[in-house]
Amino acid sequence: MVFSTTLFLLYFLPIFLLVYNLVGRKWKNLVILIASILFYSWGAPKFVFVIVGSTILDFYLVQQIYKSTKVKLRKLLLGLSIFMNLGLLAYFKYANFFVENLNSALESVGFSELSWTSVALPIGISFYTFQTLTYSIDVYRKVHAPLEKVTDYLMYIMSFPQMIAGPIVRFSSIANQITDRKEVIDDKLIGFYRFCIGLAKKVLIANVMAEQADLIFDGQLSEMSMGTAWIGMLAYTFQIYFDFSGYSDMAIGLGRMMGFRFPENFDSPYISKNISEFWRRWHITLGAFMRDYLYIPLGGNRVKSKGRLFFNLWIVFLLSGLWHGASWNFVIWGAYHGLFLILDRLFLIRFLNKMGAIFSTLFTFLIVMIGWVIFRLEDLASINIYLVKLFSFDFNFEINSVPSFWFIAIIATFFSIFTAFKIGRKIENFVLFQNYLKVSNHFIFTLSAIVLLVVSMISITSSDFNPFIYFRF
């Protein structure tokens, strides 16, 4: 099930909120769990039993980690938990990739290919895996005690607002809210506003950008002009940002309506002045996970050798790229960003600082956009063709654009750079990060949210084009 559908907006969500707010406190987590199982089953009924079964097994494994006083046993149980969760991810997400590459290697040396039945990919498996890892590792590190009820753990892992496409909610940041959270009317209203903002970003901006990007990227790349290549790249750059950040806004808003405080996942990444800053602003919860659960255990910034430091950075971003998808273009995309992070540490940040804010922002934005071309095109030959077209200098700017593209592109540009200015940051803080509002402000916000909701609903009902990029991750 997708947030930006009439099924979710007109039926699932209203019924859920009605039941959730009518039941007593002790039943609320169970209501979320049942709704989440129904939500997940709607899109992946064959896999819900795998997810539920492995989550229950993991719950009891982690209970034993917490209870045991023997160091070796605790390490063994942690290893089993990690192996089980990463094993599920490896099988469902990477088995096909491994067999395809193995068969290509065998064919190249004259051997027959292995027979293999392709494995279907459960939606949200990457986000599911990372949250289960934070639970077992945080309990092992004694950051927080485990949950007492298996149903509470299932609810934490399968919570429908964020299970499919994040943000990644680490256990230690939300553990107390699972068992004891306060729900006030301000939170419910502010959550509703945030949800409507995210829905509008997804439906009114990302979907239009997606149509333009698909028109170009799925066309004859060898025949497109330089201008078409640049427009396609720009359209996808805006699509992926407003699509993913819109989903995160909706997830954060839904969580707020239930009394949860999910972590922020984006902070105006396209105003970054270098790639290091970009990764502090883009998919923040993934970056924090990779830092705390991979980069720091590898040695982090504590290593004495610069070569080892750069190697650690590159490993982290190669794996970050592979996390996004089982395809070589994602690995290359991760290596590409890892390279610029290393260059940042060597000299690039110092150089960009000397060049000034405008130049450094435009340069970083260009590097990010080129990276999105690699991210978008799975075929390496297509990536090469597209990159050559970007700098072919044929000066042919005849472009086939979808209706309203240029108008929406201007809006997308405005909101992408909005917080680069002090007034923009103040407005963002007031709109998105308030704990409570005056009655007069609630009236204005409610009216604005309803307008966004209605316009978004009109757009949804008038079009069947409604992809979510990060659902496949």
Instruction: Report the pLDDT averaged over residues 126-141.
Output: 89
Q: Is the peptide bond before 297 cis (omega within 30 degrees of 0)?
A: no
8-state DSSP, 111: P
Instruction: Report the pLDDT averaged over residues 207-234.
Output: 92
pLDDT digits (tens, 9 = 90+) for 299-352: 877 777 888 888 888 889 888 888 888 888 999 999 999 999 999 999 999 999
Residue 165: the pLDDT is 75
Tokens of 322: 């592979």
Residue 281 to residue 36: CA distance in whole angstroms: 29
Residue 116: the pLDDT is 61
- pLDDT for residue 111 is more than 90: no
Categorize the per-residue pLDDT at 92 as very low, low, confident or very high, splitting at 50, 70 and 90: confident
Q: Active-site residue among 144, 324, 337, 442?
A: 324
Tokens of 462: 């008038």
Residue 185 to residue 77: CA distance in whole angstroms: 42
Residue 467 to residue 473: CA distance in whole angstroms: 13
pTM summary value: 0.90
* CA-based nearest residue to 77, from 137, 149, 132, 144: 137
Instruction: Report the pLDDT averaged over residues 71-79.
Output: 92
Least confident of 16-20, 171-175, 208-212, 276-280: 171-175
Instruction: Report the pLDDT averaged over residues 218-244.
Output: 93
pLDDT digits (tens, 9 = 90+) for 414-466: 999 999 889 988 888 887 877 777 888 888 889 999 999 999 999 988 877 66
* CA-based nearest residue to 97, from 290, 330, 304, 281: 330
On average, the pLDDT of the chain sits at 88
324 in catalytic set: yes
The domain ranges of the chain are 6-180, 186-472
- Given a contact cutoff of 8 angstroms between Cβ atoms, the answer to whether 66 and 139 are in contact is yes
Residue 331 to residue 396: CA distance in whole angstroms: 32
- pLDDT for residue 274 is more than 90: yes
Least confident of 106-120, 125-139, 275-289: 106-120
8-state DSSP, 274: S
Residue 77 to residue 181: CA distance in whole angstroms: 30
* CA-based nearest residue to 43, from 138, 123, 135: 123
Residue 153: the pLDDT is 93
- pLDDT for residue 117 is more than 70: no
- pLDDT for residue 90 is more than 70: yes
* CA-based nearest residue to 78, from 150, 140, 131: 140
Residue 400: the pLDDT is 75
Residue 290 to residue 285: CA distance in whole angstroms: 9
- pLDDT for residue 372 is more than 70: yes
End-to-end CA distance of the chain: 15
Least confident of 296-300, 343-347, 361-365: 296-300
Categorize the per-residue pLDDT at 397 as very low, low, confident or very high, splitting at 50, 70 and 90: low
Residue 128: the pLDDT is 84
Token pair 């050798």: residue: 305
Residue 308: the pLDDT is 85
Residue 4: the pLDDT is 84
Measured CA distances, 74 to 60, 304, 308 (Å): 13, 31, 30
